[in-house]
Amino acid sequence: MSKATRSRELSVDIPLSQEGEDTTHLSIIDHNGMAVANTYTLERLWGSRIVVKNMGFLLNNNMFGFNLFPGVTDINGTIGTPANTIAPGKRMVSSMTPTIVARDGRVKLVTGSPGTRAIPNTLLCILVSLFDFGMPARAAIEASRFSHEWFPDQISFETPELYPDLVTSLNEMGHAIVRTGPRPQGDAHSIWVVGPNHYVGVADGRRNGKAAALGY
């Protein structure tokens, strides 16, 4: 009676899950090969608190995705181009990159990621690893990633200590290398299509998520 009971202690019979606070990406494919790459974000808690009628999802409330200072582009990453100026009927600029790769009209890869302005770089790393270097899907997702967002003028790299010679070479060329942080780059849950009805689902271990399959 003299000490507050923590709420967690009252949840013995109610398992608590750790919810993410980031943009969410889902990669889905059915037994007919129909695929969906869905990247979704609310920004602040509950977004705008407006649910689209008969659709069941909340609308984003992030005005910061627009240009807050028209004409001001600086080395810290503020982009002041007219295309991103707030005006009626306009969409904010977004780096979200839900991706479906097809070959000969058939889905080969479904992927995407959270990560704000590093998202396109995350997807490029995965695509190059898979298609140019022929890496297995799991290895391509787990491989170290890097990002250059124009401004700030630097390369963010997840594991620079593993590639000292590469980092030295880039430094000698004039590139500034910084460690990605405080969190890893992206969370790219993906599906690699090996062949008809042969899918490999890969959950990115950087944040959270899992791969799951339902039998038909």
Spans of all domains in the chain:
42-94, 96-216
The residue among 21, 26, 15, 18 whose CA lies nearest residue 210 is 26
CATH class of the domain defined by 96-216: alpha beta
For position 1, what pLDDT does the model report? 82
Report, as residue numbers or ranges, the catalytic residues: 23
How far is 127 from 124, CA to CA, in rounded Å?
5
DSSP state of 152: S
| Sequential pLDDT tens for the chain (216 residues) | 889 888 878 777 777 666 667 789 999 999 999 999 999 988 877 888 899 999 998 888 878 778 888 888 888 888 888 888 888 888 777 899 999 999 999 999 999 999 999 999 999 999 999 999 999 999 999 999 999 998 899 999 999 999 999 999 999 999 999 999 999 999 999 999 999 889 999 999 998 888 999 875
- Please provide the DSSP assignment of 47-105 as one string: TTS-BPTTT--BPP--GGGSBSSTT---TTS----GGGB--TTPPPP-----EEEEETT
- Please provide the DSSP assignment of 190-205 as one string: EEEEEETTEEEEE--T
Q: Which two tokens stand for residue 85?
A: 């100026």
Pair 186, 204: CB distance under 8 Å: yes
Count helices and strands in the chain by DSSP H and E runs: 3, 9
How far is 32 from 9, CA to CA, in rounded Å?
46
Q: Which two tokens stand for residue 137?
A: 């899907």
Pair 145, 158: CB distance under 8 Å: yes
For position 123, what pLDDT does the model report? 98
Ramachandran angles phi, psi of 110, nearest 5° = -125, 125
For position 17, what pLDDT does the model report? 67
